[in-house]
C-alpha cells in the first residue's frame, strides 16, 4: 500500500507534536517534586507539583499511535493504556482539555476526576485505563456495538507486551474471533513491563504468534516506523471493516523515558536509551519526506512551530484554568440526565 503525501505529512506532524508534548510534560511534571521544596530526606515527591501522581510517557512510541490512527475516523474507537498520550493525540483528542485534566482542572476532559491514565473523550471515541489488559474487553464491546448497529466502524485495543500475559488478553481474543468482531488488537512491545524484560515474562518471542491459537491472523511488525506500521496494519483494518473479524498485531517499539517519570531505572542497561534514540523514528520520517520532495526545511520548521505552539498553548490553558470546587468530588458518580457527547446511534 502506497501512503500518500497528505497522510505522511499528517503522521509527521502528529509525531512531532506527541514528542514535544511528552518532553514538555516530562519537565513540567518535575515542577515542585524535587528538594528543597519537598519533605526532608526525600529525593522526589510523586504527589507534589502541578501534575501529581504517576506519569507514564510515550516518547519513542509515536509511530505505533500514528501508524494505526492514520487509518481511523472519529467513528472508530480507540482504547488506550496507562501510557495514553500518544494514542489520544493521534486520535484527535483536543490538547487543551486533555492537558487541563492532567493538571486536575475543572476544564479537563473529566473535570479533574480522571487524571492522566483515565482520559475520556466521547466525541473522538477515545478512552484509556490504568489497569493492564483492560483495553481489550472494552474494545470488543465497541466492536460488538458497531456490528449490532450495522456500522463498519472498527475498534482498536492498544496494550503493552506485558498485558499479553493477562487473562483479559486471551479471553478477548477468543471472544472477538468467535464473534468476528471488528477489533484490531495492537500490542506495543517496548520490551519492558516496568522492570521485567519481555523474555523473562513471556513464553514466546512474538506475541503475534499467539493469534494462531485463536484462529485469527497475527502480524509481526519489527520496525518502529510509522510508514511501515501504517502499511502493515492496512489488511487488518480492511478485514475488520468488511466483517471478517479481528487481527492481532505486534509492533516493536521503544520507551525512551522510565516506566514512570522519576523511575530510577536501575534495572535497565545504562546505555540502552541512548542506543534506542539513534533509531529515532521522527528524524527518519523527516528525511524520507525530504527525499520524496514532500517537505522542505522551511516547511519543517513551520510544522514544528505550529505543533509546538499548540502544545505550549494547551499547557498554558491548563495552568490558567481553575481547580474544581472541592465539593464537586461528590458529583458524577452516576449520570444525571442524558449522556453527553456522541451517542452510538
Partner 1 sequence: MKKNRILTMAQAISEGIAQEMTRDTNVFVMGEDVGSYGGIFGATGGLLDKFGKHRIMDTPISETAFIGAATGAAAAGLRPIVELMFVDFFGVCMDQIYNHLAKNTYMSGGHVSLPVVITTAIGGGYGDAAQHSQCLYSIFAHIPGIKVVVPSNAYDAKGLMIQAIRDNNPVIFMYHKGIMGLPWMAFFEGSSNAVPEDLYVVPFGKASFVTEGSDITIVTISQMVQKAVLAANILKEQSIHAEVIDLRTLVPMDTESVLKSVRKTGRLLIVDEDYLGFGLSGEISAVIAENLDSVSLKAPIKRLAVPNVPIPYSRPLEQFVIPQVSDIVLAAQELMLKKVALLEPQ
Question: Can you list the positions of beta strands (E) in the chain?
Answer: 77-80, 126-128, 155-160, 183-189, 192-193, 196-197, 218-221, 247-252
Please, what is the end-to-end C-alpha distance for the chain in angstroms?
32
Site stretch for partner 1 (CB under 8 A), options 16-24, 102-110, 148-156, 215-223: 102-110
Q: How many residues form the binding site for partner 1 (CB under 8 A)?
A: 56
Rounded to a whole number of angstroms, the minimum distance from the CB of residue 96 to partner 1 is: 16
CB of 102 to partner 1, least distance (A): 9
Closest separation in Å from C-beta 282 to partner 1: 29
194 contacts partner 1 (rule: CB under 8 A): yes
Q: Pick from 67, 26, 30, 63: which is nearest to 49 by CA? A: 30
Torsion of CA 236, 75, 170, 194, to 10 degrees: 100
Residue 138 grid cell: 472494552
Q: Is 168 in the site for partner 1 (CB under 8 A)?
A: yes
Cell 501508524 -> residue: 67
> What minimum distance in Å lies between the beta carbon of 67 and partner 1?
25
Query: Which neighbouring-strand residues pair with 127?
Result: 79
Asked if residue 46 binds partner 1 (CB under 8 A), the reply is yes
Q: Is 16 in the site for partner 1 (CB under 8 A)?
A: no
Nearer to partner 1, 38 or 344 (CB): 38
Under rule CB under 8 A, residue 141 binds partner 1: no
Q: Is 269 in the site for partner 1 (CB under 8 A)?
A: no
Per-position b or e across 139-154, b if 16+ CB within 10 A of its CB: bbbbbbbbbeeeeebb
Q: In the structure grid, which three cell numbers stand for residue 314, read together?
A: 494547551
- In whole angstroms, the minimum distance from the beta carbon of 108 to partner 1 comes to 8
Please tell me whether residue 204 binds partner 1 under the rule CB under 8 A: no
Q: Is 109 exposed, middle or buried (0-12, 13-18, 19+ CB in 10 A)?
A: buried
**Which residues contribute to the site for partner 1 (CB under 8 A)?**
38-39, 41-48, 51-54, 101, 104-105, 108, 110-115, 117-118, 129-133, 162-163, 165-168, 193-196, 200-202, 262, 266-267, 323-330, 333
Amino acid at each position: 500500500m502506497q501512503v500518500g503525501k497528505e497522510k505522511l505529512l499528517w503522521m509527521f506532524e502528529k509525531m512531532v507534536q506527541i514528542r514535544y508534548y511528552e518532553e514538555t510534560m516530562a519537565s513540567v511534571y518535575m515542577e515542585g517534586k524535587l528538594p528543597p521544596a519537598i519533605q526532608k530526606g526525600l529525593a522526589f515527591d510523586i504527589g507534589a507539583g502541578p501534575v501529581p501522581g504517576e506519569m507514564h510517557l510515550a516518547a519513542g512510541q509515536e509511530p505505533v499511535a500514528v501508524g494505526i490512527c492514520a487509518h481511523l475516523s472519529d467513528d472508530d474507537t480507540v482504547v488506550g493504556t496507562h501510557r495514553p498520550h500518544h494514542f489520544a493525540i493521534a486520535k484527535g483528542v483536543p490538547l487543551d482539555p486533555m492537558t487541563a485534566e492532567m493538571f486536575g482542572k475543572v476544564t479537563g476532559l473529566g473535570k479533574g476526576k480522571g487524571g492522566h491514565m483515565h482520559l475520556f473523550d466521547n466525541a473522538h471515541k477515545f478512552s484509556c485505563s490504568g489497569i493492564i489488559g483492560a483495553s481489550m474487553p472494552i474494545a470488543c464491546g465497541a466492536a460488538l456495538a458497531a456490528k449490532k448497529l450495522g456500522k463498519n466502524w472498527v475498534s482498536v485495543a492498544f496494550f503493552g507486551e506485558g498485558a499479553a500475559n493477562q487473562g483479559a488478553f486471551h479471553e478477548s481474543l477468543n471472544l472477538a474471533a468467535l464473534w468476528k468482531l471488528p477489533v484490531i488488537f495492537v500490542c506495543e512491545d517496548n520490551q519492558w513491563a516496568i522492570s521485567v524484560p519481555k523474555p523473562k515474562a513471556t513464553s514466546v518471542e512474538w506475541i503475534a504468534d499467539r493469534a494462531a491459537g485463536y484462529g485469527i491472523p497475527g502480524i509481526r511488525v519489527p520496525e518502529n516506523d510509522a510508514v511501515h506500521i501504517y502499511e502493515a496494519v492496512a489488511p487488518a483494518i480492511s478485514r475488520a471493516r468488511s466483517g471478517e473479524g479481528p487481527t492481532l498485531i505486534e509492533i516493536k517499539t521503544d520507551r525512551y523515558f522510565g516506566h514512570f517519570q522519576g523511575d530510577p531505572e536501575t534495572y535497565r542497561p545504562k546505555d540502552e536509551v541512548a542506543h534506542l534514540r539513534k533509531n529515532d523514528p521522527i528524524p527518519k520520517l523527516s528525511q524520507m519526506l525530504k527525499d520524496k520532495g514532500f517537505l522542505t526545511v522551511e516547511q519543517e520548521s513551520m510544522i514544528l512551530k505550529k505543533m509546538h505552539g499548540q502544545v505550549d498553548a494547551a499547557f498554558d490553558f491548563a495552568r490558567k484554568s481553575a481547580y474544581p470546587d472541592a465539593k464537586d468530588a461528590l458529583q458524577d458518580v452516576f449520570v444525571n440526565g442524558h449522556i453527553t457527547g456522541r451517542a452510538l446511534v
